[in-house]
Amino acid sequence: MAEDIQQKLEKYRTAPFDARFPNQNQTRNCWQNYVDFYRCQKALDAKGVDTAPCDWYKRVYKSLCPLSWIEKWDTQREDGTFPGKI
């Protein structure tokens, strides 16, 4: 499983088509991957497992999300005002 993720990450070019977000509005795609990365990190950290599988979500949100949005959300997470549940 971890090896598959490693392979996928090595061959990563850009965020692939995600059937959950097939249309023009990709806002939710960016949001979902951002939130999934931090949730994955939190969950795997809690279990004491290597968080490398979470890197997929990180690559995808880095590809999709505008830098200003990422900065804003990172600040909100640090301040504890992030609107999503992590």
Partner 1 sequence: MAHPTQLGFQDAASPVMEELLHFHDHALMIVFLISTLVLYIIIAMVSTKLTNKYILDSQEIEIVWTILPAVILVLIALPSLRILYLMDEINDPHLTIKAMGHQWYWSYEYTDYENLGFDSYMVPTQDLAPGQFRLLETDHRMVVPMESPVRILVSAEDVLHSWAVPSLGVKMDAVPGRLNQTAFIASRPGVFYGQCSEICGANHSFMPIVVEAVPLEHFENWSSLMLEDA
Is residue 22 close enough to count as binding partner 1 by CB under 8 A?
yes
Q: How far is the CB of 70 from partner 1 (least distance, A)?
A: 9
- Binding segment for partner 1 (CB under 8 A), chosen from 1-9, 39-47, 50-58, 62-70, is 62-70
Residue 27 interacts with partner 1 (CB under 8 A): yes or no:
yes
In angstroms, rounded to a whole number, what is the distance separating the alpha carbons of residues 80 and 76?
6
Nearer to partner 1, 54 or 64 (CB): 64
The whole-angstrom separation of Cα 5 and Cα 35 is 19
CA triple 67-45-76, angle to 5 deg: 35
Please give the helix or strand (H or E) that residue 57 lies within, else none. Answer: helix 55-64
Residue 39 touches partner 1, criterion: CB under 8 A: no
